[in-house]
Structure 1
Amino acid sequence: MARISKAGRDLVAAHPRLLGTWDDNSAQTQEVARGYMIVFVFYTHAMLGVAAHLGPNAWLVLFQLKYVVPGISAFFLLSGMSAPNMAKKGFEPILRMSLALLLFAVTSHLGGWLIMLAGQAYATPFEAAKALVRPLVFGIGYEGFIGWFFLSLAIARILAYVFLRNWLAFVPLVLVIIAAVWLSKRLGLPDNIYEWRNWPAATLFFLIGMRFPRGWRISNAVGLPAFALSLVLALVNRHGIWRTGPCFTCDMHFQSEAMYGKYGSILVYVPQQLLFAIFMLWLAQRTAPTLVGRTASFFGRSSLPILLMHGWVLLTIYPGILSGMPSYETPYLFVGIMCTAIVIHAVLYAILRNPLDWIQARIFAISRIGQARARPRARHTQAA
């Protein structure tokens, strides 16, 4: 369990109805919460297509996107929660896990590129070769889109590790990164090379997740207000909020997107995502025994291969779904998209589970190449 001050634990224990209690189901809670986040990813990517399809008729879609699009930072927080003792390990296992995540990004891109190639998306062989090589060199523009998350998480893990092990080494590392970004701009390299705009938020929320109180069973008095406040902050967050004041409808097309460095106001974005993460954990705790919670657990238990598959689903199945939609919003449209996305991914993963698990196993095997194996202990046998 993550270290928490005795005063903090005593405070929670003294007010169980207000703040909650402690339990030992942290791993299950994280699994369910991770599953909900993956379902939100399915839904968010569909809603982005719906917004483009509806054009000026999109209104409720934009409200939803303002809330769900920023939620990716909560994903990094959940990732940090699963690695509370990472700083106590040597650098080699941290590097190997980040290497595995980079291989997931490469695999996602290669699969997406093959899908695009089969669909004759490239006009010339040169364009096809460029689409294949450019993302591998510059770490941006992956086919299948999901690669950016694997890359950002890989970098965030290393930065968080260095910060916790030796913050004096972290400072010059950050200065080197800033200089490298500046140099890339001077050389005319692609913007957001290696998804660097997402590194600050990803690292921050990963660190927060590592220190998040595991085992805290969040009370309704905390979970419900966390949802309400996170919703309000997401709707009002935009550039210039401190000059013009809060407004729910002033910039409906703005969504906080850390991957592009679009935070709106960072002073609004960070607490909004913290509250959103608390709400997600509360929801996971309350629904874990239910059918909904078990469905989320199904996705959360196999998050890496399902996210890998989702990138390819975006290129193959999602365009066909969006082409058959009406040109106006209805509640049935949103419910239908959510249910369809869940069913499609569940069925596809059930069908493709073996090859996806094989890919995941090969990725981790490659990341462990060169790892020293523990020598087997000599067996001492007694002569008869």
Structure 2
Amino acid sequence: MKQNRLNKVIEGMNDRKITQLLISDPAAIFYLTGKWIHPGERLLALYLNINGDHRLFINKLFPVQEDLGVEKVWFDDNNDAVEIINNYIDKDKTLGVDKNWPARFLLRLMELKGDSNIVNGSIIIDTCRMFKDDEERDLMRASSKINDMAMKKIQTYIKDGLSEKQMASKLLEIYENLGAEGFSFDPIIAYGANGADPHHGNDNSMVKEGDSIIIDMGCVKDSYCSDMTRTVFYKNVPPKSKEVFETVLEANKKAISIIKPGVRFCDIDKAARDYIDSKGYGKYFTHRTGHSIGLEVHDLGDVSSVNTDAVQPGMIFSIEPGIYIPGEVGVRIEDLVLVTKDGCEILNEFNKELVVIE
């Protein structure tokens, strides 16, 4: 296992007085072992104990032969895997279980364990994952670099008259050619008034002159996610759309400008939101300013008005203010930022200033 990461998780367990932890989330297991195992409906669980008695419970269906630095406990479809786990855990100690473990396994364990001394332990490893180590920072930079290159390429296809769905298909091809493993989330390509829906589902719409074009996209490279949004215009920019764009761009910049250790997430959100409010578009900014990202496109943590935590070095999150005017126009501009010891590093280098596709 990755010892430095394991040590941080054990430290978190000690802080929360949880002596044993059962982890089923494949991303969390990868984080600690360096191995992706996708169990489908079958049980997979990594058991950690602060005394060092760690086990990986794994179905024989998954031929994991390499040494992962943890003893494997094998079972097959004919075994009661939860009963096997129950034989290893300390019955009289609190057990942390992660939020993703299916109820059919959890309820069976509660029945066998004979008490309710089970708590949600996800906060422990999720908090560790909020702080990227040097290896993860480099991987996030590499993923964002590919995203920059893909954004440059996909914008060249706008003038070819492709539908939103066709653009999304083209984007997957671009990512594969650039060496990415695929999408980190289903991309959003939104023409014109479709952009007023922040989570628009790509359809057969065709771009029209004067349309804003929201391109919200991300890829996975070496298991780490990227995410970026740019808004461009086709042929020309109507005056109101230009005003909306400039407002969102300035909100993005104002939020990024105050990021440094000790600044609260809610104050970063406020910097973007207050500026949009001041321009009269506050009611059209309908979502939080950002979210944490790493092995998953939405890791624990967000940039919102209710998150009073202070940012710390190693955190990576998005800054993505937007304005969405129903039936008219949508604009969103998103960058990923890495908090450094005295400020932040913007992971996206691709142009976010006003662009008109001719």
Would the TM-score normalized by the shorter structure come out above 0.5? no
Pick the structure with more helix per residue.
1
TM-score (norm 1): 0.24
Pick the structure with more strand per residue.
2
